[in-house]
Amino acid sequence: MTTSSFPIGPVRTVAGSAVALSGDDIDTDRIIPARFLKCVTFEGLGEQVFADDRIERAGTHPFDRPEHRGAQILLVNRNFGCGSSREHAPQALMRWGIRAVVGESFAEIFFGNCLALGLPCLQASHAQILALQTLAETHPATAFRLDVDAARLHSDAGQSWPLELGPGPSQMLRSGQWDATGQLVAHDQELRDTAARLPYLSMFATA
């Protein structure tokens, strides 16, 4: 578990080793089982990430292997984070130490939850992900640098892979505006104008 703090402001690069987690459709119940949602803060979730999978694999789960301790980049396959909308899932990953996720594809609510925490999720092709997962497993000490601006992943051996990130999320991460609350609240007049044209807000009181 890392002690590094959560991101504040622009998220332009993430540097560190990588941990691979193979499999499609890994749902948020597996990332953080529902019994750990009985809490009023997110503290302590890092220890419980993938709790049931880790018990089942008795120390051989990638998140338990000493060579992956301190990893900052998570490598996953298709539809990662499907199912429940629980933000406890990215919170648990981040509290374990993950600072970026690279995968074939992401479930939509999960992607949005990650973005709202400044946790970049970038996509790569099936073949590239398999190659990256193999590299992280066979050479776990490999140091990577993820460049959000250029959407590229670089290794310390000089290799480089193109990634995909939509222009909106990319801009939000690079500018530090991934935390939207301030912008949303600032549009006070626009919010009033929108409310005024929605007849249901006045219970259809006027024609």
Partner 1 sequence: MSAGTLYDKVWELHQVAELPGGSTQLFIGLHLIHEVTSPQAFAALRDLGLTVRHPERTVATVDHIVPTTSQARPFADPLAEEMLATLERNCAEQGIRLHGLGSGRQGIVHVIAPELGLTQPGMTVACGDSHTSTHGAFGAIAFGIGTSQVRDVLASQSLSMNKLKVRRIWVDGELQNGVYAKDLVLHIIRNLGVKGGVGFAYEFAGPAIDGLSMEERMTLCNMAIEGGARCGYVNPDATTFAYLQGRPCAPAGAAWERAVAWWSGLSSGADAVFDDEVRFDAALISPTITWGITPGQGIGVDEAVPTPEQLDADERPIAEEAYRYMDLLPGMPIAGLPVDVCFIGSCTNGRLSDLRAAAAVARGRQVASGVRAFVVPGSEQVARAAEAEGLDQLFRAAGFEWREPGCSMCLAMNPDRLEGREISASSSNRNFKGRQGSASGRTLLMSPAMVAAAAVSGHVADVRELLAAPAPHASCLDSEALLSATCPP
Binding interface with partner 1 (CB under 8 A):
23-25, 27, 29-30, 33-35, 37-42, 52, 55-56, 78-79, 82-88, 90, 105, 107-109, 112-113, 116-117, 166-169, 171-172, 175, 177, 179-181, 183-185, 187, 190-191, 193-195, 197-201, 203-207
Q: Which of 147, 140, 176 is nearest to 163 (CA)?
A: 147
Backbone phi and psi for residue 57, each to the nearest 5 degrees, phi listed first: -95, 5
Question: Is there a contact between 55 and 109 (Cβ–Cβ < 8 Å)?
Answer: no
Residue 30 or residue 68: which is nearer to partner 1 going by CB? 30
Amino acid at 115: L
At its nearest, how many Å lie between partner 1 and the CB of residue 204?
4
Q: How far apart are CB 121 and partner 1 at their closest, in Å?
A: 13
Least distance from C-beta 67 to partner 1, angstroms? Answer: 24
Q: Taking the CA of residue 125 as centre, how many other CA atoms within 13 Å lie in the half-sphere pointing to its CB?
A: 5
- Nearest CA to 29 among 88, 72, 96? 88
Q: Name which of 143 and 201 has its Cβ closer to partner 1.
A: 201
Nearer to partner 1 (CB atom), residue 1 or residue 39: 39
Q: Least Å distance between CB 24 and partner 1?
A: 6
Report which of 48, 78, 43 is spatially closest to residue 61, judged by C-alpha positions: 48
**Euclidean distance between CA atoms 98 and 18, whole angstroms:** 9
Amino acid identity for residue 57 in this structure:
R
For residues 160 and 183, which CB has a smaller minimum distance to partner 1 in the complex? 183
Joined tokens for residue 106:
């992401």
> Which residue number, 47 or 193, has a Cβ lying nearer to partner 1?
193
Rounded least distance, CB 70 to partner 1, Å: 26
